[in-house]
Structure 1
Amino acid sequence: MDKVPSDDMRPHDRADPERARALTDAEIEAAIAADPLAAPVLAAAWFRSAHLAAPQARVPVTLELEEPVAEWFRAQGGDAQAHMAAVLRAYVERAKRRI
């Protein structure tokens, strides 16, 4: 899978704070809707129920991944291991709610 930014928000545009400040809420919402990798817009109810969580201690683990999975995380930029940890954390939290 490739990282595909929307036409309105190419990577070079994301680093332009003046352009970002000039965007209207409607333009931001349209860019989010057009970007398949963008997180959804959060409703006020989410913020009312959100809580601050302190970072957990990390434990070194050796993990073998399929090549396409590892490449996809690397292609997202930033800290691929942190992104993988976030995905696994979300999975664990969801699984805990099912029990």
Structure 2
Amino acid sequence: MKKEHIVTRKWGDRRKGKTDWARVDALTDEEIAKAVANDPDAAAIDVDWSDAVLVIPAKKRAISIRVDEDVLDFFKKEGDGYQRRINAVLRSYMQQKVKPKKRA
């Protein structure tokens, strides 16, 4: 890492943002609703959460594993989350192996 990219700050120092919070606090509900109605990127938030289910991800264990370079490159070129995709492939393999065998 080049030294010119290192930024040091003291503990507790905060960056000052560019948001004018006094202006935001002064907005009325009507002004906010009008701004949202005129925003082409605003999406309606009309979600029914009554059937939502909390899913807690399984605990992961860090390991070191050796894989062929081309295999790793294949997963990495798909972008972020390549380790999750590798895990999904391994899980699929595991589930196929533990399926009960059909009797003839």
On whether the aligned pair clears a TM of 0.5, the verdict is: no
Q: Which has the higher contact order (CA 8 A, sep 6+)?
A: 1
TM-score between both structures, scaled by the size of structure 2: 0.41
TM-score between both structures, scaled by the size of structure 1: 0.43
